[in-house]
Amino acid sequence: MNSRTAPNEAATTARLRETALSQVPVGLFINGEWRNASDGRTIAVEDPATGRTLTDVASAAIGDGAAALDAAVAAQTEWAATPPRRRGEILRAAFELLTERSDYFAMLMTLEMGKPLAQAKGEVIYGAEFFRWFSEEAVRIDGRWSTAPDGKTRLLTMRQPVGPTLMITPWNFPLAMGTRKIGPAIAAGCTMVVKPASQTPLTMLALADLLTEVGVPAGVVNVIPTGTSGQVMTPLITDPRLRKLTFTGSTPVGKALVKESADQLLRVSMELGGNAPFLVFDDADLDAAVDGAMLAKMRNMGEACTAANRFLVHESVADEFGRRLTARMEAEVVGPGTHEGVTVGPLIDAKQQNKVTDLVNDATSRGADVLTGGQPGNGPGYFFTPTVLANVPQEANVFREEIFGPVAPITTFSDDDKAVQLANDTEYGLVAYVFTAGLERTIRVAESLEFGMVGINQGIVSNPAAPFGGVKQSGFGREGGPEGINEYVETKYVGINLPSSS
Ligand code: NAP
C-alpha cells in the first residue's frame, strides 16, 4: 500500500466525508416518508478501507416490505396516467441535480464501497446518464396501427407500464445499478420498491431524497434496505400485486429468485455474473490492448460483472503483453479510496479478499507464474495487490469463477478457432473484449462469441445508449438503450372490427 495525501487535500476530504455522513438519510423511505424499521433493527454500514462502522441504517422487517409494496400499488394508477412529458422532465431534473451533487454521491460510494473517489465520480456521471437518456425516451413510447391481411380488422398495439416493480441491486455499483432500473421504470410509468445491497445502502437512500426533491410523487419510489433480504423479499416476490422483478447480482441468487417468481409467472429481468474473456490477437496494437486491459480489469478493483476475467493472448505477443501489463499494474497506487492519487481501493470485505487469495493460490499450485503481486495487502481494510499471472492452465479455478479482484490471469492461444473456443468455454455470457486490427477477423470473432456484448479494441462497453445484458447464465433482459424501456412495458393489442361499408 503506497498512498499519500497532502495536508490540505486531507482536510477537504475529511470535511466532505463528515458532511456526507451527516446529510445522508438512514431510515426506510416508504410512501414519501422516512421511518424507522417497525422492529427497530438497523444494519451497520462498514468502511471497507478501515473495517470500521460508518453509520447505522434502518433494516426493513417483513411488515415494512409489505408497506412499501402497498405504497407502490396505491401510487401506480395515477403515476401511469401522469403525462410522459412530466415524467421525462422529472428525470431530466434528476440528471441535473445528481450531476450537481456528484461530490456528495461519490463520497458516499467511496465510503461504503471502497472505490477511489475519481472512479466513484465516474459512476455518478454514468449513473446520471441513465436519467438523461430515459428522460428523452419517456416521450417516445409508441405503438402500432395496421390493417389485418384480410382487410376487415384494424390492429392497434399499445405499450403500457408493466406495473409495480421490485428492484434488487448489488453493492459493486451502488448508484448506477439502481439508476439503470429506476430511469426506465419512471419513464414507462411504473412504481417501484428498491432494495439496495445491505453493504451499500447509503447511496440509494441519498438518491431517494434527491428524487423527492425533483418531484417524484410519494409512493412511486420506495427504498428499503434490509439485513434479512430473503425473509423480506420472498413475500413481495410472491405477492400477486407485484408485476415485475428486476435483479442485478450473482448468478446463484438470481436463479433462486427466478424459482421464487415462477409461482406467479412474474416478469423477470436478470443481470447476473460474468466471466469475460479478453482476447489479444497477434495483429493487435499492444499499447491499446494494455490500456484496454487496465480499464477492463482494474475499474472497480476488478469487482465488476464486466471485469476481464481471462486474458487470452496470442502466443507470439503474450510475453510482451505480460511485461507491459505488469509494468502498469506495478504503477497502480493502492490505498483508501478517499486518499488523493489512489487508483486501487479495498475489496468489499474479508470474504472477498480471502476468495481472491484462494484463487491465486490455486492457480500457482497448478503451475501459474506470478509476474507481480499475488498477495493481500496489509490491514486494516481488505486490500489486494494488483496481480498478473502468466501460463495459467485452463483447469485453474480462476478461469471458471468470477475473480472480483485485481488479478489478471494470462493464457495463450495459437489460432483464431482456439481463441474463440477458449473464450466460449464458460457457462457465463455477459461480455467479451477483442483486440485486433483486422476487419474480417473482427466480424468473424464477434459473430462467434457467445456473449451479450462484445467490445472491439476498447476495454469498456457500458453505455447508457446501448443495450447492456447477457446470455447463458449471465441472465436475460437488457438495460439501457431504446431496448431498456421494453423491460417496463407490456404490449397490448386491440382488434377493431371494421365491417365493409358496402
Ligand atoms: P448478491 O449476493 O447476489 O446480492 C445482490 C442483491 O441480492 C443484494 O441486494 C442482496 O442483498 C440481494 N439478495 C441476496 N440474497 C437474497 C435473497 N435470498 N432474496 C432476495 N435478495 C437477495 O450479489 P453481490 O455480491 O451483491 O453482487 C455481485 C454480483 O453481481 C456479481 O456476481 C456480479 O457479476 C453481479 N453483477 C452483475 C451485473 C450485471 O449487470 N450483469 C452488474 C453488477 C453486478 P444483501 O446485500 O442483503 O445480501
In whole angstroms, what is the distance from residue 300 CA to residue 462 CA?
13
Q: What would the mean pLDDT of 269-286 be, rounded to a whole number?
A: 98
Query: DSSP secondary structure string, 51-108?
Result: TEEEEEEE---HHHHHHHHHHHHHHHHHHHHS-HHHHHHHHHHHHHHHHHTHHHHHHH
Strand partners, 428: 472
In whole angstroms, what is the distance from residue 296 CA to residue 313 CA?
15
> CA dist 501 to 50, 147, 153, 361, Å?
79, 15, 13, 80
Shared domain for 262 and 280, answered yes or no, is no
- For the chain, what is the mean pLDDT? 97
In whole angstroms, what is the distance from residue 293 CA to residue 464 CA?
22
Of 224, 253, 404, the one to substitute when testing ligand 1's pocket (max ligand atoms within 8 A of C-beta) is 253
Of 45, 250, 257, the one to substitute when testing ligand 1's pocket (max ligand atoms within 8 A of C-beta) is 250
**Residues whose CB is less than 8 angstroms from the CB of residue 287 and which lie 6 or more positions away in sequence, other chains included:** 324
Cell of 16: 466532505
Ligand 1 lined by 76 (C-beta under 6 Å): no
Q: What would the mean pLDDT of 271-295 be, rounded to a whole number?
A: 98
**pLDDT of 328 higher than 80:** yes
Ligand 1 lined by 487 (C-beta under 6 Å): no
Shared domain for 27 and 45, answered yes or no, is yes
Shared domain for 454 and 389, answered yes or no, is yes
Q: What would the mean pLDDT of 254-261 be, rounded to a whole number?
A: 98
Q: How close is the Cα of 222 to the center of ligand 1, in Å?
A: 19
Strand partners, 492: 158
**pLDDT of 90 higher than 60:** yes
Ligand 1 lined by 233 (C-beta under 6 Å): yes
Pairing of strands 165-168, 192-195: parallel
Of 305, 382, 451, the one to substitute when testing ligand 1's pocket (max ligand atoms within 8 A of C-beta) is 305
**pLDDT of 1 higher than 70:** no
Q: How close is the Cα of 376 to the center of ligand 1, in Å?
A: 24
Q: Is residue 283 assigned to a domain?
A: yes
Task: Identify the pLDDT of residue 326.
Answer: 98
Shared domain for 249 and 134, answered yes or no, is yes
Q: How close is the Cα of 297 to the center of ligand 1, in Å?
A: 20
Shared domain for 264 and 294, answered yes or no, is no
Shared domain for 77 and 140, answered yes or no, is yes
Q: Is residue 221 assigned to a domain?
A: yes
In whole angstroms, what is the distance from residue 479 CA to residue 463 CA?
10
DSSP 209: H
In whole angstroms, what is the distance from residue 1 CA to residue 377 CA?
7
Provide the edge-to-edge strand list for the sheet that holds 489-497.
144-147, 153-161, 489-497
Q: How close is the Cα of 253 to the center of ligand 1, in Å?
A: 7
Ligand 1 lined by 430 (C-beta under 6 Å): yes
Strand partners, 246: 167, 269
In whole angstroms, what is the distance from residue 331 CA to residue 488 CA?
44
Say which CATH number the domain at 203 has: 3.40.605.10
Strand partners, 278: 311, 433
Shared domain for 324 and 415, answered yes or no, is yes
Instruction: Choose among 181, 152, 185: nearest CA to 169.
Output: 181
**pLDDT of 400 higher than 80:** yes
Backbone angles phi, psi at 269, to 5 degrees: -120, 135
Residue 10: pLDDT band (50, 70, 90) is confident
**pLDDT of 3 higher than 60:** no
Q: How close is the Cα of 483 to the center of ligand 1, in Å?
A: 23
Structural domains counted in the chain: 2
- Report the nearest atom of ligand 1 relative to the CA of 198: 46
Q: Is residue 5 assigned to a domain?
A: no
Shared domain for 167 and 289, answered yes or no, is no
Ligand 1 lined by 248 (C-beta under 6 Å): yes
Q: Is residue 268 assigned to a domain?
A: yes
Task: Identify the pLDDT of residue 502.
Answer: 62
The answer to whether 148 and 108 have CB atoms below 8 angstroms apart is no
Shared domain for 399 and 268, answered yes or no, is no
Q: How close is the Cα of 248 to the center of ligand 1, in Å?
A: 6
Ligand 1 lined by 250 (C-beta under 6 Å): yes
Q: How many CA atoms lie within 13 A of 158 on its CB side?
A: 5
Task: Identify the pLDDT of residue 8.
Answer: 77
Which residue's alpha carbon is at the smallest distance from atom 26 of ligand 1? 170
In whole angstroms, what is the distance from residue 502 CA to residue 78 CA?
43
Shared domain for 435 and 334, answered yes or no, is yes
**pLDDT of 251 higher than 50:** yes
Q: Is residue 498 assigned to a domain?
A: no
Ligand 1 lined by 271 (C-beta under 6 Å): yes
Q: How close is the Cα of 352 to the center of ligand 1, in Å?
A: 14
Residue 11: pLDDT band (50, 70, 90) is confident
Tell me the pLDDT tens digit for each residue of 360-374. 999 999 999 999 999
Burial 47-60 (b: 16+ CB within 10 A, else e): bbbeeeebbebbbb
Q: Long-range pairs for 85-88 at CB < 8 Å and ≥24 separation?
A: 85/138, 85/139, 87/138, 87/186, 87/187, 87/189, 88/134, 88/135, 88/136, 88/137, 88/138, 88/139, 88/187
Task: Identify the pLDDT of residue 9.
Answer: 73
| Active site (catalytic) residues | 271, 305
**pLDDT of 500 higher than 80:** no
Q: Is residue 62 assigned to a domain?
A: yes
Q: What would the mean pLDDT of 342-369 be, rounded to a whole number?
A: 98
In the block, which residue shows the cell 451479450? 452
- Report the nearest atom of ligand 1 relative to the CA of 251: 32
Sign of CA dihedral 235, 238, 241, 246: positive
Q: At what angle do helices 117-137 and 102-113 cross, to 10 degrees?
A: 120
Q: Is residue 253 assigned to a domain?
A: yes
Tell me the pLDDT tens digit for each residue of 142-192. 999 999 999 999 999 999 999 999 999 999 999 999 999 999 999 999 999
**pLDDT of 2 higher than 60:** no
3-state SS, residue 17: helix
Task: Identify the pLDDT of residue 287.
Answer: 98
Shared domain for 175 and 218, answered yes or no, is yes
Residue 2, Cβ density class (10 Å: 0-12 exposed, 13-18 middle, ≥19 buried): exposed
Tell me the pLDDT tens digit for each residue of 43-70. 999 999 999 999 999 999 999 999 999 9
Instruction: Choose among 325, 332, 322, 255: nearest CA to 290.
Output: 325
Name the residue range of residue 426's domain.
276-464
In whole angstroms, what is the distance from residue 375 CA to residue 387 CA?
8
The answer to whether 478 and 487 have CB atoms below 8 angstroms apart is yes
Q: Is residue 143 assigned to a domain?
A: yes
Shared domain for 307 and 260, answered yes or no, is no
Annotate 285-351 with three-state secondary structure: CHHHHHHHHHHHHHHHHHCCCCCEEEEEEECCCHHHHHHHHHHHHHCCCECCCCCCCCCECCCCCHH
**pLDDT of 471 higher than 80:** yes
Say which CATH number the domain at 280 has: 3.40.309.10
In whole angstroms, what is the distance from residue 69 CA to residue 240 CA?
11
- Report the nearest atom of ligand 1 relative to the CA of 474: 41
- Report the nearest atom of ligand 1 relative to the CA of 170: 26
Q: What is the pTM of this model?
A: 0.97
